[in-house]
A and B are shown apart, each in its own frame.
Chain A
C-alpha cells in the first residue's frame, strides 16, 4: 500500500505546484529585497514621516480622551484639528514635535482621492462625526465622572477589574474614536488614496518613475513616495520600519496592532505576512516599472486590510454577545467590546473590494448596521439583543470569504 500512495501524492503535489506558477515572461525583472529597503545612489528612497506624525497625533488624542483632570472640549478638538477654534496655530500635544507640525488628523479623515474627491458633503459629515464624539466625551461623560452608569445615564461601569466611562447609550467614545479612525483615516488613505492608480499614476508619475526623475530635492520618485505613504499608515511607527513584522502589534494602537491580533487567529495566520510581502513586492515592482504587478499587490493589500477591519468588527460583536448572554450579563465588558466593535463597523465603509472602486459595505449599509446596534430599545447598548448582534455579524461575513465563527475564534 505504501508504495502506491507515495507516487500518487507526488503527482498531486507537482500538479499543484505547476498550477501555482502563473508568471508570464514579458514582465521586467523585479528585484525584490529581503526587507523593505530601497535605495538610489546608496541612499534610502523610503519616506513616510507624515504618516508617523498622524499616528502619533491620533494616539495622543486617544489618551487625552481619558484624562479627566486635564482635558477640555477645546483641547480635544484642537488635537483633532491641530488648530484653534478660530483657525490659528495650536499647540495641543505633549510631544513638541507634533506641535510644530502643520498636519492634522482631521484633514485626512474621509479624504481619499477615490472615495471623497467628488463627495465633499459626505467627507464633511464623517469628519464631523469625530468632533461630535469628542465634544460628547467632555459634555456627557466627563461631567458624570463620579456617577454610576445606568440605562439612559452616562457614568462609570466596571469591566473586569477596569473602570470604564460610558455614555447614556452605553458607548465609550474614546474607543469609538480610536477604532473608527482606523477606517476613516488609516485604511481610507492607504487603500483609496495612495494605493489607487489615480494617485500613483497622477500627472507624469509614470514617465518620471520610468526615467527615475526624482521629486524636487528628494531621493525618491513621486510614485515611490506615494506607495511608501501607504506603507507608513501601518508600519509608520515601527521599531524597525524595514522589518516591521518583528514587532508587529506593539508599534501603535491602530492597524499595526490589529493586523497582529487577527494574524494570531489560526484562520488568518498568514495575513500579516501577506500584507508585508505585498507592500514589498509592489514597491519593488515600481522600481522595476512593472505597474500591473504593482496593482496586483495593491489589491492584495486592499483585501487583507479590509479583512482585518471586518474580522475585528465581527469578533467584537460576538464578544459582546457572549458577555450579554451570561446568566448575569456582564454589561461593562460587553459595552467595552461593543464600543470597539462600533468603530470597526464604522470603518467598513472605507474598505475596498479588489478590482473595484467600491467598499465591502457602503456608507448607507454601515449606517444601517450602526442604527441596528443602537436600535433595539431607547437606551442603545443596554437594550441590545444577541439576535441583533448575530444579524450584524452575518451581514458583514456574507461580504467576505470567511465565516462568523472563524472571525470570532481569535
Chain B
C-alpha cells in the first residue's frame, strides 16, 4: 500500500511540474473569434469572390465572342481575359469551404498538368460530361492554357484549329464549355456565400474542431502546403520525385506566367494572414492579431513577425526566378529549390507553431490512402 501511495505521490509531482512549465497568459478562448470571421467573410472572402466572378464573367464573354467569331483579335482578347482571371483566381483558391468544398471547386478549375490526350478525345467525340471527377484534369484554367497556347507552335496554326480544322466546330464547343463552366461554378460559390453561407460561417465561432476558425485555418494551411508550396514550386522542382518535372508548372503552355501566379498567391496568402481587406488599405482581425493577442513567441521573437518575414523571404527568393518556371527548372533548378525551402519554413511556422498556439488540430493527413 505504501508503495502505491508513493507512486501516486511521485506521479502527482511529475504532472504538477509539467503543468506549471510555461508562463500563464491570455487564453485562446478570450479572443473574439467572431470578429475574425466577420473580417474574413466580409472584407476578404466575399470581395475576392465578387471580383473574381466579374473576371470569370468577362472570360466567358470573351469565350463566346471567340467561338462565335474565331478571329486572331478575339483569340488575343480571350487570352488576355484568361490571364487576368487566372491571376485573380489566386485570391480565392484557398477558400475551399461551403459550396466550394461541395463542388470540389479548386479541382475543377486548376488541376495541372492538364490531360491533353483526354481533351483531344473529348473534342474528337464531341461528347463529355464535365461534372465527372475523372474529367477534372481536362478542364479549368490548365485546359484553357493548352487550348489557347499549346495546340500548335504559331498563333495562326492555333487559330486554324478553330477555323479550318475538320473538328473546328468541336474545338469551339469545347472551349466555350470550359469558359462557361468556370463562370457558372464561380457564380454558384459566390451566391452561396452572399445568400446562405456567410451567416452560417460567422456564427459558427466556437472553439472546436468543427468551428469556422478551425476549418478555415486548416483549409488555408492545406492550400499553402499542397497547392502553393508543392504544386507551384516543389513538384516542378522535383522535390517529391527526385528529378525536375518541367511540364508540371502552372500555365505551362503560356510559358511566361508561372512566376506571376506564384507571387500573386504568396501575396494573397500573406494578406489573409494579416487580415488585409481585399483590394483596399483597410485591415481587420486576423491570424496575425490573434497570435499577437496571445503573445506567441518562438525563440525570443514574435511568431507573427517570423511568419511575415518568411513570406517576404519566400517572395524575394521567387524574384530570382525566370518568368517561365519550365525554363527555370531545366536551366538552374537550384533556384527553384531555394524558393521551395523558403516556402517550406512557413509550413512549419504555420502548421506547427501557429496551430499549437491557437489550439487547433490538423484535420487532414498527407496520404489519400489507396
| Cβ contact within 8 Å between A12 and B3 | yes
Stretch at the interface among B125-133, B143-151, B254-262: B125-133
List B contacts of A158 (CB < 8 A): 104, 107, 133, 136
List B contacts of A4 (CB < 8 A): 6
- Take A161-B107, A327-B210, A328-B102 as given contacts and tell me if A156 and B132 are in contact as well, using a CB distance cutoff of 8 Å: yes
Which of B6, B131, B368, B370 contacts A148, CB < 8 Å?
Answer: B131
| Cβ contact within 8 Å between B129 and A146 | yes
Q: Find residues 184-226 in chain B having any chain A CB closer than 8 Å to their own CB.
A: 210
| Cβ contact within 8 Å between A336 and B369 | yes
Q: Find residues 117-158 in chain B having any chain A CB closer than 8 Å to their own CB.
A: 129, 131-134, 136
| Cβ contact within 8 Å between B132 and A160 | no
Q: Is A5 an interface residue (CB 8 A)?
A: yes
- Take A161-B368, A328-B101 as given contacts and tell me if A5 and B6 are in contact as well, using a CB distance cutoff of 8 Å: yes
Closest CB-CB distance, A213 to chain B, in whole Å? 45
Q: Is B10 an interface residue (CB 8 A)?
A: yes
List B contacts of A5 (CB < 8 A): 6, 10
Which of B6, B101, B104, B129 contacts A8, CB < 8 Å?
Answer: B6
Secondary structure at the B interface, as helix, strand, loop or mixed, is: helix
| Cβ contact within 8 Å between A157 and B133 | yes
| Cβ contact within 8 Å between B10 and A156 | no
| Cβ contact within 8 Å between B370 and A253 | yes
List B contacts of A332 (CB < 8 A): 133
Secondary structure at the A interface, as helix, strand, loop or mixed, is: mixed
Residue of A nearest to B200 (CB): A327
List A contacts of B370 (CB < 8 A): 253
Count residues of chain B with CB under 8 A from any CB of chain A: 20
Residue of B nearest to A322 (CB): B363
Q: Find residues 295-342 in chain A having any chain B CB closer than 8 Å to their own CB.
A: 327-328, 332, 336-337, 340
| Cβ contact within 8 Å between A163 and B101 | no
Which of B2, B7, B134, B369 contacts A163, CB < 8 Å?
Answer: B134
- Take A162-B368, A253-B370, A336-B369 as given contacts and tell me if A156 and B133 are in contact as well, using a CB distance cutoff of 8 Å: yes
Residue of A nearest to B127 (CB): A146
List A contacts of B368 (CB < 8 A): 159-162
CA distance A253 to B6 in the complex (A): 49
Closest CB-CB distance, A340 to chain B, in whole Å? 8
A3-23 interface code vs B (CB 8 A; 1 in, 0 out):
011001001100000000000
CA distance A123 to B370 in the complex (A): 29
CA distance A159 to B104 in the complex (A): 10
| Cβ contact within 8 Å between A146 and B6 | no
CA distance A253 to B3 in the complex (A): 48
List A contacts of B133 (CB < 8 A): 156-158, 162-163, 332
Q: Find residues 90-108 in chain B having any chain A CB closer than 8 Å to their own CB.
A: 101-102, 104, 107
List A contacts of B2 (CB < 8 A): 8
Closest CB-CB distance, A54 to chain B, in whole Å? 20
- Take A146-B129, A253-B370 as given contacts and tell me if A156 and B134 are in contact as well, using a CB distance cutoff of 8 Å: yes
CA distance A328 to B103 in the complex (A): 11
| Cβ contact within 8 Å between A148 and B102 | no
Residue of A nearest to B10 (CB): A5
CA distance A327 to B48 in the complex (A): 24
CA distance A148 to B133 in the complex (A): 8
Q: Find residues 274-308 in chain B having any chain A CB closer than 8 Å to their own CB.
A: none
CA distance A146 to B133 in the complex (A): 10
Residue of A nearest to B215 (CB): A327
Residue of B nearest to A175 (CB): B370
Closest CB-CB distance, A65 to chain B, in whole Å? 13
Most buried by B among A4, A11, A160: A160
List A contacts of B129 (CB < 8 A): 146-148
CA distance A165 to B360 in the complex (A): 34
B1-45 interface code vs A (CB 8 A; 1 in, 0 out):
011001100100000000000000000000000000000000000
Closest CB-CB distance, A102 to chain B, in whole Å? 30
List B contacts of A336 (CB < 8 A): 369
CA distance A8 to B6 in the complex (A): 8
List B contacts of A157 (CB < 8 A): 133
CA distance A394 to B132 in the complex (A): 37
CA distance A159 to B369 in the complex (A): 10
List A contacts of B101 (CB < 8 A): 328
A137-170 interface code vs B (CB 8 A; 1 in, 0 out):
0000000001110000000111111110000000
CA distance A8 to B4 in the complex (A): 10
Closest CB-CB distance, B156 to chain A, in whole Å? 35
Most buried by B among A8, A148, A336: A8
Closest CB-CB distance, A216 to chain B, in whole Å? 41
Residue of B nearest to A164 (CB): B133
Most buried by A among B2, B107, B134: B134
List A contacts of B7 (CB < 8 A): 8
CA distance A25 to B341 in the complex (A): 61
CA distance A253 to B369 in the complex (A): 12
Closest CB-CB distance, B255 to chain A, in whole Å? 26
Closest CB-CB distance, B300 to chain A, in whole Å? 33
List B contacts of A160 (CB < 8 A): 368
Residue of B nearest to A161 (CB): B107
List A contacts of B107 (CB < 8 A): 158, 161
| Cross-chain pairs A/B with CB under 8 angstroms, 17 sampled | A5-B6, A8-B2, A8-B3, A8-B7, A12-B3, A146-B129, A147-B132, A156-B134, A157-B133, A158-B104, A159-B368, A161-B107, A163-B132, A328-B102, A336-B369, A337-B369, A340-B369
The 9 A-B pairs of least Cβ separation, nearest first, read A158-B133, A163-B133, A163-B134, A160-B368, A328-B102, A8-B3, A8-B6, A156-B133, A158-B104
Query: Contact residues of A with B, CB < 8 Å?
Result: 4-5, 8, 11-12, 146-148, 156-163, 253, 327-328, 332, 336-337, 340
